[in-house]
Every structure is written in C-alpha cells, then in structure tokens.
Structure 1
Amino acid sequence: MLPFTYPRRFLFFIPCAFLFTLLLTASADAAETPNIIYVMADDLGYGDLGCYGQKVIQTPNIDQLAKEGMRFTSHYSGHTVCRPSRLVLLTGQHSGHTPISQNEQYVFPAGTTTVTTLLKEAGYTTGGVGKWALGLPETSGVPSQQGFDYWFGYLDQGNAHNYYPEYLWKNEQKVGLPGNKIGPQKRVSVNRKIYSHDLLSREAFQFIRLKANQPFFLQAHYTIPHANNEGGRAVNDGMEVPEYGIYADRDWPAPEKGFAAMITRLDRDMGSLVSLLKELKLENNTIIFFTSDNGPHQEGNHKVEFFNSNGPLRGYKRDLYEGGIRVPLIVKWPGKIQPDTTTDHISAFWDFLPTACDLAGVKPPQNIDGISYLPELLAKPQRTHETLFWKYRGKEALRAGQWKAVRVKSEKPLELYDLEADIGEDHNVAEQHPQIVTHMQQQIKESQTASD
C-alpha cells in the first residue's frame, strides 16, 4: 500500500496556515501585553490598611482594589529600610547579592540591568514619580540614565523626607517651587503652598494620559506616610500634611492625626488612579500593584502601636522580624486575576522583575534571585522559593517554608520561629530544633556573596 500523500497545493497551504496561526498568536499576545503600574508607599505597615485589618484609618479605595484583585498575606519587602529595598526591587536580587545592605549612599553604574531597562527594551514607555534614592544629580544613577523615559520627583533620599521641598526634578532638570522656600530658621513657612505628594500624583496621571495609546510602565514610589525629618529632625510634629481632614476633630496627638491623614490622602489618589484608567478605557489592559517599601516607622513622634500599624507582627522598620519586612501587596488586573482572592504564596520584592518580564513577554536575566509570581496571579501552578534572605547592619533573617531564622546582632545566636504556629514570633524554638538551626545557618551563609 502506497503511503498517503497530500496534494501539492495542500502542501503549500500547510506552512502558510502555520505562519498565519503564529501571526494570530503573536498578535493576541501583543494585544494582551498590559500596562504596568507599580505603586509603592513609604513606611506603610502591614496593618495600616482596612483590607489587612486596620479599624481606624480609612482606606476605602485601596480596600476596593483588594476586592477587585488579589491580596497577598506573605509578601516581603526587599529590605527593612528604604534605599536597599528599592535596589532589590529594581534588580531582582536580594540583599545578600546587592552591593549595599543598608541605607548608605549608592549610585547605579552605567549599563545596569533593571526592571525598567528591560521593559523599555521590550517596547514599553517608562515613567516614574516619587522617591528615587539610587543616583544623585549628574551621575550615572539618575533615572534618565537607568531606563526611564520620564521621571518627576526626588533624586536625593534625604530631600524626600520634606513634603514641601524648594525644588523637585523633572528628568535631569531642577524644577523650582518658590512658594515652598524655607525661612532662615529652617522652620516650615506658612507660605508653603505645594504639597509634594499632590504634585507627584498630578504628574503620574498626566503621564498616563499622554501615554494612553502605547504600552507603558509607571513606577509611583510615593513618600507617604514617611515622617518629615527635615534637617535630621522632626518638624511640624513630624507627620506633615496640608490638613487632617476627617481626623481633625479626633482626640489624638497631632502626629497621629497627620499619619492617618497621609494614608487616607494616598488612598484618595489610588481611587483617582482607577477612575482615570476607566475614563481612558485602560482599566482592563492595566495591571496595578500596590505595596510598601518596608514595615511601619516609629519616627516623627508617630507610635507604631497607636493604630496597630504592624498588625499581628513583631517589630517595625529597621527590624528583621516580620513587622519590619512583611508588607501588603495587592494586585488588580480585571478579567485576568480572580476578584476578591487571597493568597499565602511566599514572595518578595525580588520577584517583581521576573513577574514584569513575564507580563512583557521577555526573558529575565540569569543572575537574579526572583521567581515570577504571575502564575499565582492567574491561578496556575506556581514555583516557590526554597528560602528568602535579608541582612542589615549585623542582622540576618532567612525564611524557609514555615520556618524563620533571625539574628538580631552579629554576635548573637540564631533565633528560630515557626510562622505557621507563631506569626508574631513570640516563641523562640531554636533549642527544640537544633538540626533546623544548623541547616538554616548554612543556608544563610550560602545566601551571601563573599566580599571584603
């Protein structure tokens, strides 16, 4: 029996049909490439949002974001303080592999690969507002040299602690705010008129309007609710905001009114952001991430316990206990992420770079520590971390599944906690599990790049 053969004209049709299918698939993928908006608050605690248990501070818009998206309960910041946390987020490497692991000055070298440069190469228009902290003016580290088509905000981290600055930066151009000029006593002037957060939001919304017809990445790294430590000391009770709003008549200390008002102001702008996306018919093709750079602060006369800012967690900013590094993460993508879902998937800032690459359809670099959590967002099988690692000024922490090891000083022994049974890290069980402690000590050693 002769083998079956296709007619000659049908043989020609096969590669054409195959090519047509590929083109259709590519077009579908391109059509589904979402805009990416990554919003990060500054020093917002795990317990500061209503959807994470806050009972007093009002955050209706962020809570609605959680109802329409996915809420992570085991997400971790890149670090327990600002600059290294941002470095981890942008590079996809945890603090055992980054050049700095504390708030020392750092400037991105020319040619650094970051989530922004990768998205720009993938065809995204890239923009950012807020606090940068990874490159001073006239250095290789400024945003315009690190993949940003547009930047508006602070470059120097120290200046970002002032909500009424005399100037901000538009790309590499200084933009003066003359109404905010500081008097000779370095006190807040009653003539100050421009609150930096409001200006940052305005610029972010304008960027979206201008780039609505092309794929864009917007990084909105707000400074709220960081304390105002102008000149190294707290001013105006440390929590600077134009008005206390709905908290004005509360019988609270002024710093606590300011703290609550700052968070509710940020919540207002998250509502405006979603409304803008709906107006521009971009909501269904935009994925929004909302998080915080580290745990809650106890600065500017604000007390962590006043609003239970760390929720059930122990510690706060500058600690490597859960309260210093476990942060909210809410992700919304209509039609893709199942609404009103919660996940206990263990993830961290260094996972954002590969997640963004997955969204953009590009391959992430090899030398990263992150694992994309896009499968978790889409309810698909998800790969998990064996360990997560942090270090800060002689402190070390490592999470491995249910276990968390913490060293509070370089000369101190490891503490061990079972987070499934003890989320508040109240019971050190190191003596009961010496083999686990030994294993985690080895994992801590292996998590760090050898250096002088």
Structure 2
Amino acid sequence: MMANYLLYVMIRVCFTSLCFLVLLQAAVAQRKPNIVLFLVDDMGWQDCSVPFWSEVTPLNRRYHTPNMERLARDGMKFTNAYAAPVCSPSRISLMTGMNAARHRVTNWTLRKNASVDVADSVLAVPAWNVNGMSPVAGTERAVHATPLPILLQDAGYYTIHCGKAHFGAMETPAADPLNIGFNVNVAGHAAGGPGSFLGEQHYGNKGDGPTPPWGVPGLKKYHGTATFLTEALTIEALAALDKPVAEQNPFFLYMSHYAVHVPFAADERFIRKYRDMGLPEPEARYAAMVEGMDKSLGDIMDYLKKKKVDDNTVIIFMSDNGGYSGEGRGGQLYTHNLPLRAGKGSVYEGGIREPMLVKWPGVVKPASVCEQYLVIEDFFPTILGMAGANNKPTVQQVDGKNFIPLLRDASIRDTARALVWHCPNKWLGSDEHGINFRSAIRQGNWKLVYNQKTGTKELYNLQTDIGEQQDVSRRMPEVTQRLSRLLAGKLREYDAQMPTVKKTMKPVPLPDQH
C-alpha cells in the first residue's frame, strides 16, 4: 500500500510540475510581443493625412487616412525613414538585413534568370541577382540568406504572410513565402503587382486557375464579387490570426498590400468624395486606394483590440519605396511627392523617403516624433530584437542597425551614420529625375548623388533644402569629396557591382575615382 501511495504521490507531483512548466512556457511565450508589419506598395511620404514634414501640405489635405492618424497618436512617427527606390531591393533588404549593394537584388524581379532592365546605349547593366533571394545555397543569380520569418519561427512565432511577396523570381524557392519561414501564405507569389484589384476581374486571373505572372493566387472565393483586393486580403489576414490568438501563441503578421501599386482601380467604397473634389480620374482612384489601405489598417487594429491582444502587439507601418509619379498619374508628372523631388525609381527623396509609424505599448511614447534617419534593412535586426531573437546566427552579413533605442528615446541623434543607395540598373527609359545608374549617400543633413553614367555629383543640405533644388557641390568641395570617399568606401565594403562602359568594356569608376 505504502509503495502504491508513494507512486501515486510521485505521479501527482510530476503531473503538477509538468502542468506548471506548460503554463510557464505559455506565459513566457506571451510576454513576447505580437508583431504586425504593415507594408504598403509604392506609397509616397505625402500620400496620407498624417504630416511627416514640419507643415501640413495640400497633399496631406487631399488624402483621408484616419487610421494612420490613430496609429500616429498611439505611437511614434518617423520623419526620416528610407527604403530603396524600387520594390524588390527593399523587400530583400527587409527580409535579410542587407544593403541592396551587398545583396545585389538592385532591380525588380519576375522571371527566372531574366533581367527586367531597359537597354542603354552607353552602359551595360551588371549581372545582378535577378532571381531575388533564396533560403538555400546554390540558387543561381540569387542571394543566399537566412530569412527573417525563419528566425521568428525558431523563436516560437506563428508567421503569416498576406499579400504581395516578390522575394524570388518565378520557379525559384523564395517565390513561395512558405519556403522562407511563413506558416501561412495568402496570395503571395513571384509577381510584384496584381493583374487587377477588382474581384469582378478575378484579380487578373482567367478561368479557374491562377494566371501567371500577374494573376493574384489563392483568392478564388472572391472571384466575381465586388470585393476590392485590399479588402479581400484584410479579411483573409484576420481569419489567419484567429489560430495564434486562440492558442495564445505570439504571431508575426506580414500584411503586405498590393495597394497602392498600378493598375489603379476605382474602389467604389471611397472614390466618390475624390471625384467630387474634381481630381483627375487617376488621382481619384489613387486616393480611394489609399483610403482603402487605411481602412485595412483600422480593421486590423480593431481586431487586435476586440481580441484583447492590442496591449501586447507591435504595429509597424512602412512603404517599400517612394510614391509612383510617372506615366499613368494625373496632373504634372514627378510632382506627386512634393515637397520631395521625383518619385519611385529615383534616389532623390521622393523615391526613397517613406511614411513610417510604430506603436509598441509600454515602450513607445504615444504621439512622439523621431527625426533620426534610418533605412529598411534596419527592420531585420529590430524585429528580431523585439522577438528576443537578435542573437540568432545568419549566413549573411547584416548591415541593418537595431532601432529599438530610438523607440525608447526619440531624441537620440546619430549624424555620423551613413545610409547608402546603389542602383547600377536602368529601370526606365529616361535617365531624368534621378532614375537609372545612380548611387547616393546621406550622412547627417548632407546628401550626395552620384551619376554613374556622367560621373557628375550633386550635393544637397536636406535640413535647408528638402526638395533638393540647390546643388551646392561646387560651393562645398570639401563635403563633396568627403562624401565621395565615404560612398566609395561603402561600395567597396559591400563589393557592389558597377555598370560597364560599352565602349571600353571597363566598369564605371567609383565616386572617389572621378
């Protein structure tokens, strides 16, 4: 009897201890914050009613984004946040922590082993990584890297991808977000834009199956309905969140909208007010798409509050490059990001400066503003730091800098840090507006733009000339030379590719060689 009793006691003790450990592990897991990364496609710095400048502009008055305003009240606004000039370089930097000059995905990707560059009569584009990133070694023309979602999975996170992926070319591993560490993939594939935003047009698909390259996959149940793509993605994202929320598992939601990319479409829920304002039809459609994106943000915030997980959820809002301002927009081209110069594809501020907001309850002071500049590769170490996974090993050299200290103290300034952009590609036919064959560097308030084709350099003081209208390179030769040396040194450190001069078959000189 005594032996049986002792055995019973031991079993009870073990069972109680096991239950305690399970509960403890669950509690520890829930102390990790949930993370929502809300990434918008092609949204400009001015495409919202939240002013990211020192004054409210006519463009801020045009757009209606009450949920961005709400997020700004709850969190921190970053007025000097940067990405790459086009989408794939930004997204690869986000997922790897690498500068685009290092990972060599310097233009947008689509088909395997195929470059999307426009031919140029003077320069030949280098053999850049046209296949994007790859989670496995040996994928040709791709950068091998340890992706952010895999590291988050290893840290106990349930990872959800919803919307635009654009990580790897068609028929390569990273074309499917499931291969880079996402537990769930909604509508993500190799393409960087949708065939259509309209459910009536099956989101660009023909027939029952997906229609590559532009047909958005996985949303067949919305085909033939009046459900705008942005709304369909939001519905699916919230449905995917039910599982980790119910299981009290920390989650990472990468809400990556196709909006506000072309082709612009009329979101009938919002477009009337913009037509009534007298905007040209493309601008009315664009503004309605912006408001639909903002509704998605609000729906996610409302869901988190309803499920009582908002107090333990980080929300990061960002765009992948500057606002598109070329053919297809209404009004005068390359003015849609004023006071910033130019737009998507350019190394001028209109092509790289982004709207960015961060809410982190208990860490970020509500309604705070941070003026310190940062760049999209910084998201990689920062998100890992939030997840308690910043010591995880990676196969790649990480260039990004953890900005959690800024979230705790918005007054921090680092004017010694240099941000680098490198585009040895031809994205559009015209070389105007800071597009094609450009490199740039920002340190403090100084910004140098290097034209790889002509060898010319431009210098701007962003503190006094945010619109980059006054080139002071000749008046400030010492600053021009210093930044030329610094930019060249960074490009050498990254082993950056340069275009080749067709006439001589020699690479373009680095900035300090002119």
**TM-score exceeds 0.5:** yes
Q: Which moved more, 1:207-216 or 1:364-373?
A: 364-373
> What residue is the counterpart of 1:389 in the other structure?
420
Q: 2:352 aligns with which of 303, 308, 325?
A: 325
In structure 2, the CA distance between the partners of 1:381 and 1:437, relative to structure 1 (3 Å rule), is: same
SS for the counterpart of 1:209 is helix
Calculate the TM-score normalised by the size of structure 1.
0.83
Aligned AA (1:73): T
- Please give the residue correspondences for 1:59-138 in structure 2 after superposition, counting only pairs within 5 Å: 59-77=65-83, 79-104=84-109, 105-111=130-136, 112-136=145-169, 138=171
Deviation at 1:177, TM superposition (A): 2.8
How far apart, CA to CA, are the structure 2 residues paired with 1:179 and 1:370? 39
Deviation readout 1:405-424 (Å, 9 max, x if unpaired): 01244323111111112111
How far apart, CA to CA, are the structure 2 residues paired with 1:210 and 1:429? 56
Deviation readout 1:254-286 (Å, 9 max, x if unpaired): 111101110111111111111100000011100
Unaligned runs of 5+ in 1: 1-24, 181-190, 229-237
How far apart, CA to CA, are the structure 2 residues paired with 1:154 and 1:251? 35
Q: 1:241 aligns with which of 255, 260, 267?
A: 267
How far apart, CA to CA, are the structure 1 residues paired with 2:293 and 2:398? 32
8 Å contact 2:275–2:281 — kept in the other structure?
no
> What residue is the counterpart of 1:151 in the other structure?
185
Aligned AA (1:396): S
Q: Does 1:165 align with 2:204?
A: yes
Q: Does 1:360 align with 2:387?
A: yes
8 Å contact 1:403–1:417 — kept in the other structure?
yes
Deviation at 1:402, TM superposition (A): 1.3
SS for the counterpart of 2:422 is strand
8 Å contact 2:30–2:250 — kept in the other structure?
no
Paired residues, number = 405
- Please give the residue correspondences for 1:220-369 in structure 2 after superposition, counting only pairs within 5 Å: 220-228=255-263, 238-243=264-269, 244-299=271-326, 301-303=328-330, 309-362=336-389, 363=391, 365=394, 367-369=397-399
In structure 2, the CA distance between the partners of 1:45 and 1:253, relative to structure 1 (3 Å rule), is: same
Deviation at 1:55, TM superposition (A): 0.7
> What residue is the counterpart of 2:44 in the other structure?
45
SS for the counterpart of 1:447 is helix
SS for the counterpart of 2:345 is coil
How far apart, CA to CA, are the structure 1 residues paired with 2:379 and 2:359? 15
- Percentage identity across paired residues of the two chains: 30
SS for the counterpart of 1:432 is coil
Aligned AA (1:198): E
> What residue is the counterpart of 2:235 in the other structure?
202
Calculate the TM-score normalised by the size of structure 2.
0.73
Q: Which moved more, 1:135-144 or 1:312-321?
A: 135-144
Deviation at 1:323, TM superposition (A): 0.9
Deviation at 1:380, TM superposition (A): 7.7
How far apart, CA to CA, are the structure 2 residues paired with 1:252 and 1:315? 20
8 Å contact 2:164–2:192 — kept in the other structure?
no
How far apart, CA to CA, are the structure 1 residues paired with 2:489 and 2:100? 13
How far apart, CA to CA, are the structure 1 residues paired with 2:64 and 2:260? 14
Deviation at 1:313, TM superposition (A): 1.2
Deviation readout 1:26-60 (Å, 9 max, x if unpaired): 99875431001001111111111111230111111
Deviation at 1:300, TM superposition (A): 6.0
Q: 2:406 aligns with which of 376, 380, 387?
A: 376
How far apart, CA to CA, are the structure 1 residues paired with 2:41 and 2:222? 25
Unaligned runs of 5+ in 2: 1-23, 110-129, 137-144, 198-202, 426-436, 499-514
SS for the counterpart of 2:94 is helix
How far apart, CA to CA, are the structure 1 residues paired with 2:409 and 2:150? 28
Deviation at 1:446, TM superposition (A): 2.0
